[in-house]
Structure 1
Amino acid sequence: MAQVQKGRFTADASSLGDEVVVFLIGMRINKPWKVRAWWPVFVAMPRMLRYLVQHPDKGLLGFEQAFLPSPLLVQYWRSFEDLARFARDRDDPHLEPWRQFNRRIGRSGDVGIWHETYRVSTANIETVYGNMPPHGLAAATASVPVRPGRNSAAARIGATQTDDPAVPGY
């Protein structure tokens, strides 16, 4: 388990260049009693993540996952091109489970899947983590202390030159 960093930290995205891709993907178990329908979908993603962690050249920078109320995964990618290449490459562990889902589940309604993809300018990113281990984008890049003059979200994202937090930082 990662060590808690006491205080307030932010992600240092300077190593990412001009943009990062944030990919949200999840599933919804619409018919819980149909385990044979949703179990293969549920176990496919951990296999893909293990593969991506073992092959950093594929472009995945990091990820966070949650399971309630339904499985959700937030991924940070170096580029959209890396994400698309991984999704379509016959040698990578995504294309075949995608095909199997379409064949086995299709329009049955037993299992829902979704994703959202965001190309984000690194100049438009604001993060803060209080008394947390490195998390999210900070875990995927670098976690650095919040600098003086950057106590408000507006100051951290560059929306204002004035640092006027609603509540003083700690």
Structure 2
Amino acid sequence: MAKAVPGRMSAHIEGDFVVFLVGMRFNRPWHLRKAWLAFTAMPRMLRYLYQHPDQGLLGHTLAIGANGPVVIQYWRSVEQLEAFASSTAAPHHPAWRTWNKVIGYQSPDIGVWHESYQVKAGAYECLYGNMPRFGLAAAGEHVSAARKGETAAQRRGAAPA
């Protein structure tokens, strides 16, 4: 288990960035082969992206929710995210091809979803209290909350009231 950093911390990333959420839901978990194919695709993609930092992935966090696994990813730009997704040389392409062949949208066995958010420089806020380096702080710089501001509004760069 990662060691907690005592006190109030925040995160800093220079410039714009993208938050990409991607998840899946096992609608019919007894279809183990299909579930396994879908579940194991993401670790292969993440390994590739960490081995190729020029692709633009800054970091990720895995969460398991009531509807299934979710990967929260932080990317340098939407252009890099989309380039990775469409590249025939990257592992997303064969995973997507396999998805369409084995599962696709005609079968309700496994559900997939994603959302992406473009974040303008400084237009975000985060606070980590007595937490290890996590989330955006793991993808960027882990800084003292005092450096960013004492209130949420200050940390997201809002004008004082």
Tell me whether the two structures share a fold, i.e. TM-score over 0.5: yes
**Structure 1 unaligned blocks of 5 or more:** 163-170
* Structure 1 residues 124-152: Cα deviation after superposition (integer angstroms, max 9, x where no partner): 11111011111111111110111178221
For residues 128 and 85 of structure 1, the distance between their equivalents in structure 2, rounded to whole angstroms, comes to 31
- After TM superposition, what 4+ stretches of structure 1 lie above 4 angstroms from structure 2? none
Structure 1 residues 87, 148: CA separation in 2 closer, same or farther (over 3 Å shift)?
Answer: closer
Distance 1:149 1:71, change over 3 A: closer
Alpha-carbon distance in structure 1 between the residues aligned to 2:19 and 2:100: 24
3-state SS in 2 of match to 1:71: strand
Partner deviation per Cα, 1:53-83 (whole Å, 9 max, x = no partner):
1111111000000123210000000111111
Which of residues 84, 87, 98 is equivalent to 1:89? 87
Secondary structure of 1:124's match?
Answer: coil
**Partner of residue 117, structure 1:** 116
Q: Corresponding residue for 1:35?
A: 32
The 3-state SS of whatever aligns with 2:2 is coil
2:51 corresponds to: 54
Which residue identity lines up with residue 4 of structure 1 in the other structure?
Answer: A
Higher strand share: 2
> What does the per-residue CA deviation read over 1:22-76, in whole Å, with 9 as the maximum and x for residues that have no partner?
1000000000111111110000000111111111111100000012321000000
Question: Closer, same or farther in 2 for the Cα pair 1:148/1:27, shift >3 Å?
Answer: closer
TM-score for both structures, normalised by structure 1: 0.88
Corresponding residue of 1:3: 3
Give the percent of matched residue pairs that are identical in Structure 1 and Structure 2: 50
Q: CA RMSD in A?
A: 1.4
Residues 147-158 of structure 1 mapped to structure 2, 5 A cutoff: 147=146, 150-158=149-157
Question: What is the aligned length?
Answer: 159
Structure showing greater Rg: 1
